[in-house]
Amino acid sequence: MKVEKMVKKGLVVLAAVVLTASSAYAANVETMGIGAMNTAQAGAVSAYCDNVFAAYYNPAGLSLIERPTISAGAMYYNAKIKVSDWNVVSQGSNDTLDGAPSDYESDTMDIVSPSLGFAMPVTDKLTLGVAAYTPYGLHVTWDKDPANSPSSAYAWESYYGRVAVSPTLSYKVSDKFSVGVGVSLGRSISEAGKTMEYSDDFNPTAIAKEAGGLLTPDQAQAKAGLNALNFTGDAEKAQELVMSATLLDGAQLKMETTDDFNYSFNVGLMYRPIEQLSMGLTYRGRSDGDFEGDVMISGAMGGTQDLDGTVTMEYDHPEQVQAGVRWMPSNKFSVEADVTWTRWSINENQDEHAVINVPDAYVGLVGASTIETTFEHERDWEDTTAYKLGIAYQATEAFVFRAGYTYDPSPVPDETFEFGWPDTDRNVYALGMGWRINERWNLDAVLQHVVSTSKRSTTGESTELNKNYSAAYGAPAQVYCENEGILWGAGMTMTYTF
């Protein structure tokens, strides 16, 4: 128990440094690169990763490190999501959303994501290493006012990330074959914010006001319940909808949760049948995520109350398999092609169960001292295969130039697309260089550009969006829009060899 507590405390401290704000990707939760050298080759390095971040890309690659080595670096990201042709088709109405713009953008997201690693040979065959990095991350924010950004009625913030510390061991079985294994000790953070929008048909106060005082509170409550029952077809869900509309309509909800300790395993193989050819295979394991935290609501009860409560969520990090082949026709030029399979299908749903405390003054109106509600999000994501290509050219003894490309398809099907995870198929381009300053110091730099392969069109088929905005309009609704993501990144890594 003491060891586990020490590990947790260490991860909390490290998370404050490494997980500055996760990683601002205009896409799904996915690493865009760890270490400037690897990022410049679009992560196509599983067949030959000769730096400390092999702990992630292929643990067997640590056997290529001949002397104690330490690396530290950071990536800077600037990301934005653009939405166009926003439109909701519904027989209901919502004064706020009806006047929203059809074209708008997310907030500009500026993020710094650092990484750190160390490795050293212990014997001629055994190499030890440890690396700290962010294997997954996403951060998207929108204007909180649905009148300016209708996306905020679904989510004005989505934040999800994991920081990992990976002690790793590599063993050189022979001059041609190496194996490696590491344990990834992690801490995860998930945050979500949305502006609650409900139809006036579910709010007794709004119904009574519309009736001009002709209805008593009980009559208004009964009418709201009948409207909600007709809308949901389920008495329990209808009661929950009326309570939520009564208490939360127009309020801003924020959930902050953490999973203080989780773990997974990284396993790698590297085989070099001849000097010019290298092959690699990496397995990155699944880690269970059990999140707990707080829910905070501002502007409830018509803007008169601030509320709080607790929230829990189970959501796992997916496993991956990466395989690559590197060809080096000369001692100056190399090219590698990789494929990365990710098992996104492990999470069929994302359910956030919240318990909200009701102020004493409103217990009689709401009929309970707490409101228990579950924000149910259907995922039904698909497994994906990303294709990577990386090249390196040793121009001089001091300078090496690198380039890379990745095609990364979205796991999110049209039926469950939404604004918390506004994902698209994307192209990832990278250019970089390395400078050997002297015998001990090396500096690597990279520029990165990520862009949607094309605008993603949502033409009323998203059940997740339709469900959310149907409640906002008080009638069946279909959401239509197009969106695309754009990201620019730059990073540097400094390496010292003892």
Mean pLDDT, to the nearest integer, of 242-260? 88
**List of long-range contacts for 148-151, beta carbons under 8 Å, 24+ apart:** 148/100, 148/101, 148/104, 149/100, 149/104, 149/106, 150/86, 150/88, 150/97, 150/100, 150/101, 150/104, 151/83, 151/104, 151/106, 151/419, 151/422
pLDDT at 249: 84
Mean pLDDT, to the nearest integer, of 103-111? 86
Which of 92-96, 386-390, 470-474 has the largest mean confidence? 386-390
Cα–Cα distance measured from residue 485 to residue 106, given in angstroms and rounded to the nearest whole number: 10
Which of 4-8, 89-93, 282-286 has the largest mean confidence? 282-286
Phi then psi for 464, rounded to 5 degrees? -65, -45
Q: Is the pLDDT of residue 19 over 70?
A: no
pLDDT at 427: 95
Mean pLDDT, to the nearest integer, of 242-265? 89
pLDDT at 14: 42
- Spans of all domains in the chain: 2-197+250-497
Q: Is the pLDDT of residue 10 over 60?
A: no
Cα–Cα distance measured from residue 193 to residue 298, given in angstroms and rounded to the nearest whole number: 11
| pLDDT, tens digit, 9 for 90 and up, residues 132-157 | 998 877 888 999 999 999 999 999 99
DSSP sequence for 365-384: HHTSSEEEEEEEEE-----E
CB-CB contact of 150 with 194 (8 Å): no
Fold of 2-197+250-497: Porin (2.40.160)
Angle at 492 between CA 486 and CA 494, to 5 degrees: 160
Q: Is the pLDDT of residue 215 over 90?
A: no
Confidence of residue 117 (pLDDT cuts 50, 70, 90): very high
- Say what the alpha-carbon torsion angle 284, 288, 292, 293 is, to the nearest 10 degrees: 20
CB-CB contact of 309 with 356 (8 Å): yes
For the chain, give the mean pLDDT.
89
| pLDDT, tens digit, 9 for 90 and up, residues 364-375 | 766 778 888 888
pLDDT at 18: 46
pLDDT at 12: 44
Question: Residue 199: how many CB atoms within 10 A of its CB?
Answer: 25
Q: Is the pLDDT of residue 464 over 50?
A: yes
Q: Is the pLDDT of residue 22 over 60?
A: no
Cα–Cα distance measured from residue 183 to residue 205, given in angstroms and rounded to the nearest whole number: 55
pLDDT at 466: 94
pLDDT at 137: 77
Q: Which one is predicted more confidently, 358 or 47?
A: 47
Confidence of residue 6 (pLDDT cuts 50, 70, 90): very low
CA 170 to chain CA centroid, Å, is 30
Cα–Cα distance measured from residue 111 to residue 77, given in angstroms and rounded to the nearest whole number: 5
DSSP 21: S
Return the closest-CA partner of residue 401 out of 40, 92, 99.
Answer: 40
Q: Is the pLDDT of residue 169 over 80?
A: yes
pLDDT at 30: 66
Percentage of residues of the chain with pLDDT beyond 90: 63
Confidence of residue 267 (pLDDT cuts 50, 70, 90): very high
Q: Is the pLDDT of residue 3 over 70?
A: no
| pLDDT, tens digit, 9 for 90 and up, residues 296-307 | 999 887 788 888
DSSP sequence for 117-162: EEEEESSSSEEEEEEEEEEEEEEEE--S-TTT-GGGGT-SEEEEEE
Distant-in-sequence, close-in-space partners of 283: CB < 8 Å, separation ≥ 6: 265, 266, 267, 268, 319, 320, 321
